Structure 1
Amino acid sequence: MTSTELAHAPGTALVEVEAPPAALQFLTFRIGAEEYGIDILKVQEIRSYEAPTRIAHSPHFVKGVVNLRGVIVPIVDMRIRLGCDAEINAFTVVIVLNVVGRVVGMVVDSVSDVLEMARSAIRPAPEVSSSIDTRFVTGLGNVNDRLLILLDIEAMIASPDFGLMD
């Protein structure tokens, strides 16, 4: 449910304006020791890991493709992309995303939960050298003494670095 506000400039008619939601929801997941969050609205589904079909000459972090109900979905191993160990175990999952009009699978170590965070609880990301480009970090959230790195997954997947979009 969204809220609306009435906006009025002097000399104009009242106009109903959609107010941004006070809180945002994030799917949280782990890669190595770090915990990340992405906008829940970008998530299509979460699947257990199954070995994809490898595609020749694809970047090292693109594991291959899977057939998901008739849709060929590229599988990106975010652990490799971020320079972490990429061991497959019982907790390894694929988060299926719907971003930039495409379906993409993202391999992560595990999925934690869905968190709702107030916009005021999100702080800007500091400019530091790290394995993830700060252009793709929308902010940092502090939830119950856990630091959550919030990603702009749409910008990340659409970036030329990933080589998935035209």
Structure 2
Amino acid sequence: MSHSANTATASAAEATAPVQYLTVNLAHEEYGIDILAVREIRGWTPVTRIPQAPHYVLGVLNLRGAIVPVLDLRLRFGVVRKEYGATTVTVIVTVAGRHFGVVVDAVSDVLDVAAADVRPVPDMGTTVDTEYLKGLTSLAERMVLLLDVDRLLQPQDAQMLEAALPAAADVQAVA
């Protein structure tokens, strides 16, 4: 087989290979985050507030010397905030070379999802605005909404956060 035929075969296999999603729980619904975007999973720790940050940005945390904004997905999606507990975690994701954390109620597991199993999200019946979703999949009795992490932190909010980071050092941590 020629090199170009091997390359075409490899590309076709990659296109049909399942995508792995880290599943997380939020407000009694299950969401999937593309595992390739996940940098790490951390237990909840208090963050430092940032003045004039969007309502859904809790603040920042120090991740081995890097200052990382932390978003509460409940607030981002317009869901009532709940007290953070033993299962609350911050999932650190990387989007376009930028790291940020998303606070979720709990982490569940990792699922393999074939592209053919991803369906469009209907406009009704979900807690979340469909702009933040890539699609949904159902596995056995589970319905999993697939998050589009690229859209969680809007560019204008990211720029505002970067400008505000020096002020964050003067503010108290959020419990």
Instruction: Give the TM-score normalised by the residue count of structure 2.
Output: 0.79
Aligned to 1:16: 8
Paired residues of 1:28 and 1:35 also in contact (CA < 8 A): yes
Q: Is the 8 A contact 1:80 1:86 kept in 2?
A: no
What is the SS of the residue equivalent to 2:36?
helix
CA shift for structure 1 position 137: 1.3
Counterpart selection for 1:156 from 152, 156, 160: 152
In the aligned structure 2, how far is the partner of 1:93 from the partner of 1:133?
22
Residue in 2 that maps onto 1:36 = 31
Q: Deviations over 1:115-153 (max 9, x none)?
A: 101222211111337542212211111012110001111
Q: Is 2:84 the partner of 1:88? A: yes
Change (3 A) 1:5 1:124: farther
Match of 1:97 among 90, 93, 97: 93
Between the two structures, name the one with larger relative contact order (CA 8 Å, sep ≥ 6).
2
TM alignment of 1:39-54, pairs within 5 A? 39-54=34-49
- Which residue of structure 2 lines up, in the alignment, with residue 120 of structure 1? 116
How many aligned positions are there?
A: 154
| RMSD after superposition | 2.2
State the identity as a percent: 41
Q: Which has the higher strand share?
A: 1
Hey, what's the Cα distance between the residues in 2 that align with 1:165 and 1:112? 32
DSSP-derived class of the 2:158 partner: coil
The Cα of 1:159 is off from its aligned counterpart by 5.2
1:62/1:74 contact within 8 Å kept: yes
Extract structure 1 runs of 4+ deviating beyond 6 A: none
Structure 2: 5+ residue stretches without partners: 161-175
Matches within 5 A, 1:51-70: 51-70=46-65
Q: Give the distance between the partners of 1:158 and 1:101, measured in 2 at CA.
A: 14
TM-score under structure 1 length normalisation: 0.83
Q: Bigger shift: 103-112 or 120-129?
A: 120-129
